[in-house]
Amino acid sequence: MEHLTYLDSLVLGIVEGLTEFLPVSSTGHLTITEKLLGLNVDDKAVTAYTAIIQMGAIVATFIYFAKDIARLLGAWFAGLRDSRQRSDHDYQLAWAVIVGSIPVGIVGFLAKDLITGALRSLWVVAAALILWSAVMFVAEVRNKELARQGLHRGEGSITLRDGLIIGVWQCFALIPGISRSGATISGGLLRGIDRVTATRLSFFMAIPALTAAGLFELKDVDPKVVGVGQLLLGVIVSFVVAYASIAWLLKFVAGHRITAFVWYRIGLGLLLIIALSAGVLSAT
């Protein structure tokens, strides 16, 4: 395989940063982009590269939510030292994020070969983009009904059970095309959590999940395929674009439903099916 170019790195960094936190599937978009760039999506070095440049998006999350993270960590450590502090909502939220991050780590490790192998097919991506759109639609409808019944909940009401259930939902995102944020936000909406809180919780849960994935894949980077310069460029670009995406998404969900992304997902899925059927793109 040819060496990954700086142009490839720039394009992949933009795609990663733009799609990591939007409910449109960053893995699906990266897989499509890799095919369009003529890269081998089955190459471990390429798979590792796309996982590592996610670190740029994670750093963006750390910086954007620095005060929130510091607050949650402070409440968590305070609760560990003093049982009287355990009724603090921030202590419970911190545990919800921690516990919610465990399922995806276990499933991701056990199903690693499947995730990086058969599930990387663009047929899978196309199907997931379309089918998960129905889940997002149902989640919004259900959330609206819960709000009408006065059962909407905010950040102060997040429980350990919420974290665990949403963490299980996050496991679906291991299938390219579903979207980690699309899965976690949908899970939150179905739990009656308001859209902004569900989105913030999705960001918090992304930190341990994506950090672990990036560090785990670091060993598979092949310097013959991916140079240090290309790797740094991808991380930096994904950081800049992801930071802007976080700010935009939080403002967007405050006044819009996530079903706004459904039509894009369905359109891209159908376009992908047409391209695959016509032989314009190969599935793997």
Q: Return mean pLDDT, the chain.
A: 88
**pTM, to two decimals:** 0.88
pLDDT at 39 over 90: no
Q: Express each pLDDT in 184-219 by its tens digit.
A: 999 999 999 999 999 999 989 888 877 877 777 666
Q: What is the pLDDT of residue 1?
A: 43
Mean local confidence (pLDDT), 75-83: 92
pLDDT band (50, 70, 90) for residue 266: very high
pLDDT band at 131 (very low <50, low <70, confident <90, very high): very high
> In the chain, count of helices (H) and strands (E)?
14, 0
